[in-house]
């Protein structure tokens, strides 16, 4: 079965207008912060990780018909069923997030930075080309940036690799780079600002020397 991300919409023509929501409005209904709380609380239990969550969210067949937190809730329900959390004998949690420590835990965040196990393959200024293949799993390389020529703008160090982490294959830390592209390289004649530069963050396995 071909893996398809319904969230990878860059460069696609979609029906209807894109309406920007006002800045600072985090929730639009009383149930939405509760969904966020459930997702945050399930993280420490070991049921899933952020990349598993993203993988399940983006592959929901009705993704485009759901609001932001409806996507979160549907994915949480699907993961809970897959992992047996809703069964009569659920697996024991690795850790329980208590109410008194929840705010501090959220503010602290969860860093994806990891010690590097090898030297970086690329340096600032190196010309690179992104892979052009469509992976059969979750990836952080958007479709519109595949098979494109760019240059390394910044080297960020090693981070958890979403492509393996989303499949339960381990964190497999990889070097992360900011890669800059000429707008015409990404969008061709459709580039709204042909002389502009667009930057994306890309993991080392997504890149090859140009």
**Same domain for 101 and 132:** no
Position 1 scores a pLDDT of 65
**Same domain for 158 and 102:** no
In the predicted model, is pLDDT for residue 73 greater than 80? yes
Rg of the chain taking only CA atoms, in angstroms: 19
Mean pLDDT of 48-68: 95
Q: pLDDT tens digits, residue range 103-112?
A: 888 888 889 9
Whole-number Å distance between alpha carbons of 194 and 182: 8
Answer yes or no: is 48 within a domain: yes
**Same domain for 182 and 150:** yes
**Same domain for 145 and 99:** no
Q: Whole domain around residue 159: which residue ranges? A: 127-209
| CATH number of residue 160's parent domain | 2.30.30.50
Residue position matching structure tokens 């609001």: 67
**Same domain for 103 and 46:** yes
Is the separation of the CB atoms in 130 and 157 below 8 Å? no
Position 13 scores a pLDDT of 81
The last residue of one of the domains, among 73, 108, 143, is 108
Position 18 scores a pLDDT of 77
Answer yes or no: is 131 within a domain: yes
Answer yes or no: is 12 within a domain: no
Answer yes or no: is 54 within a domain: yes
Whole-number Å distance between alpha carbons of 190 and 168: 39
Number of folded domains that form the chain: 2
3-state DSSP assignment of residue 70: helix
**Same domain for 169 and 142:** yes
Answer yes or no: is 1 within a domain: no
Tokens, residue 123 = 């340096």
Whole-number Å distance between alpha carbons of 170 and 31: 33
Answer yes or no: is 13 within a domain: no
Position 175 scores a pLDDT of 98
Q: pLDDT tens digits, residue range 129-174?
A: 999 998 999 999 999 999 999 999 999 999 999 999 999 999 999 9
In the predicted model, is pLDDT for residue 194 greater than 80? no
The pTM of the whole model exceeds 0.85: yes
Q: Read off the DSSP letter of residue 161.
A: -
The last residue of one of the domains, among 46, 73, 108, is 108
């Amino acid at each position: 079965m071909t893996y398809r991300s319904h969230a990878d919409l860059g460069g696609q023509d979609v029906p209807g207008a894109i309406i920007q929501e006002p800045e600072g409005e985090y929730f639009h209904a009383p149930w939405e912060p509760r969904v966020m709380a459930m997702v945050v609380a399930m993280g420490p239990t070991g049921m899933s990780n952020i990349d598993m969550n993203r993988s399940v969210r983006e592959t929901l067949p009705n993704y485009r018909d759901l609001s932001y937190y409806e996507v979160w809730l549907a994915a949480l329900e699907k993961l809970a069923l897959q992992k047996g959390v809703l069964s009569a004998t659920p697996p024991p949690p690795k850790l329980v997030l208590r109410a008194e420590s929840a705010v501090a835990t959220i503010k602290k965040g969860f860093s994806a930075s990891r010690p590097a196990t090898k030297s970086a393959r690329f340096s600032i200024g190196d010309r690179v080309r992104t892979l052009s293949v469509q992976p059969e799993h979750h990836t952080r390389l958007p479709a519109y940036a595949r098979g494109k020529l760019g240059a390394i703008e910044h080297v960020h160090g090693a981070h958890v690799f979403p492509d393996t982490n989303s499949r339960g294959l381990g964190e497999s830390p990889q070097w992360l780079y900011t890669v800059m592209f000429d707008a015409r390289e990404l969008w061709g004649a459709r580039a709204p600002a042909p002389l502009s530069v667009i930057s994306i963050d890309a993991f080392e396995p997504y890149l090859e020397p140009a």
